[in-house]
Every structure is written in C-alpha cells, then in structure tokens.
Amino acid sequence: MLQDAQSAYRTITVKPHAHGFGAEVAGLDLRGPLPDDVLAEAKAAWAAHGVLSFPDQPLSLDELEAFTLQMGPFGDDPYVAPMPGHPNVLEVRREPDETLTPFGGAWHSDWSFQPQPPAATILRSEVIPPVGGDTLYCDATRAYEALDPATKARLAPLKAVHSASRAYGPKSGYARELDQRSMPIIVSPEADKTHAHPLVRTHPVTGRKALFISPVYTVGIEGMAPDQGDPLLSELYKHLTQEQFIYRQVWREGMVVIWDNRCTMHNALGGYDGHRRVMHRTTVAGDTPV
C-alpha cells in the first residue's frame, strides 16, 4: 500500500501511516516558495491523508506566514491574541509551572462555530518537552464511511449547532483560568453565539463525506431536544474516537504539521508538566460547509 501511495507523486516523498490517515513528507524546504508542481502534489497529499508532517523546517515567523499563504488566505482567529507584529500567528505556549489542561486539550475541529470554519491549521514546533505533548487526530471521513446505511440515512438531513461558549464564553472554563495561563486567551460574550452546519459534511476537494461535530464546539442538533440530540452526539463521539480512526503525531522540534479541519478532529495531549512547550500556529480560511 505504501508503494502504491508513493507512486502517485513525482516531486515529493510521502510516507503514509499504516492505515493511510496521516503521512510524513520528506525532502522539502518550506522556507521559500514551493514550485507549482511541488505545491500541487503537497496539497494532493494533504487532501489524501488529512494530516501531513514536515520534519526539519527551521522557519522564521515570516516564512511560516508565507508558507501558509501558499496553502490559502489566512483564517480568522478570534479568541487568542496574536503575536506582536504577526497578526495571523498565534503562540501556543505552556510554561513549566502550569498545571491546567493544555490549550486544545479536548477533541475539536478548529473554530467550527464560524460560518466558514478554517480549512487548515498549520502548527510549527519551537520548543518540545522531553516527554508527552503528542497530538491525536481522528479521521472523521473513515469514521463516517464505517457507519451502517441506516445510520447514514438518519444523519443525512441533520444539522449540528456549533458555539464557542464552552471554551471562550463568559462562563467558560478558560474564563475561570485566565490568570493561570501564559497564553493571551480572549473571553467574550460573542462566543455564546451559535451557528448550524451539516452534521455530515462533504469535502470540497475529495467529495468524500465526514462527520463534522466535536465535543468542544458542538452544543446540540438543530430541531432536537437535548434528551434526544445529546445521546446521539455521545454515540457518534464514541464511534469517532475508536483506535482504528486515530493517528498520533509525535512532535520533534522544527516540525511543521498541517491538518484538515473539514474532516478531522484533534486533541492536544499533556503529560509534560514541569516542561515548557511552545508552538506557532496559523490557519487557512475555509468555505461554508455543505
């Protein structure tokens, strides 16, 4: 299978995970513009595998921004203040004395509460702790495809309601923890707004369908009372996070990872109390889910 996957590329080396979700791309230097054919193959690999890692990428913040713009225009990041002089870069930082759950430490798809959630998130590792700090990714496409026909038919007309209220609203967990975190998190009443998206989303590039929900940002199902919608969502979360659908990213310093928010969830793990972890993050604008 790995040889078949690699034969699809002429200019890049792609090393897929054993079940094809998640892959490493070797031999590229992201510090300068990628030639059109190389960029096209990198985008094709990203669409095919959902999560791509690029090791050994000593990018400056300017170079990280430039690479992001090759993938698409910047997305909007509303609830974390950007780095000084770099309005589209967030620093995901956790200091050695912090003991709270890491930022992003629960299953979610970035900013899914937006009318047009980001297509991609790009993360570059600056400081990696000697233990812990892995990121889990869930393949929401294969999870959907594994459902039985009756369940697919049941889900087809449904819309999930998304909101940032649990994370960034005035009564959220982050609101109670601002003085205990080094990250400049923004809490706002705007986070309590809701937006509905199809529960089953069709990828604009591959045409494949995926479950588009997450425990952090999905607050219900449109037209369903909580005693009906919540059990269904819980059942789907349990299905999504089965081991067969999970890819674990083990970070190394200077690694760039890009993932597709349209067909994945992710979860930033801890396990590195007493150590600093610093990452730089950008997002790529997306489209309206259909």
Question: DSSP characters for 249-278?
Answer: EPP-TT-EEEEETTSEEEEE----TTS-EE
For residue 290, being part of any structural domain is answered with: no
β 51-54/23-26 pair status: parallel
Residue 137, in any domain of the structure: yes
Per-residue confidence (pLDDT) for residue 4, from 0 to 100: 45
pLDDT in tens, 15-54: 999 889 999 999 899 999 999 999 999 999 999 999 999 9
What is the residue type of 179?
D
The reply to whether 226 falls in a domain is: yes
**pLDDT for residue 6:** 58
Residue 52 lies in a domain: yes
| pLDDT < 50 regions, the chain | 1-4
Number of domains in the chain: 1
Domain-embedded: residue 231: yes
Write down the pLDDT at residue 1.
40
pLDDT of residue 259: 98
Range of the domain at 260: 2-284
pLDDT of residue 8: 79
With respect to residue 70, please indicate whether it lies within any of the assigned structural domains. yes
Domain assignment of residue 79, yes or no: yes
pLDDT at 2: 43
Q: What's residue 3's pLDDT?
A: 43
pTM: 0.96
Q: Is residue 289 part of a domain?
A: no
Q: Which CATH number goes with the domain that contains 276?
A: 3.60.130.10
- In the three-class reduction of DSSP (H, G, I as helix; E, B as strand; rest coil), residue 165 is classed as helix
Q: Is 200 helix (H, G, I), strand (E, B) or coil?
A: strand
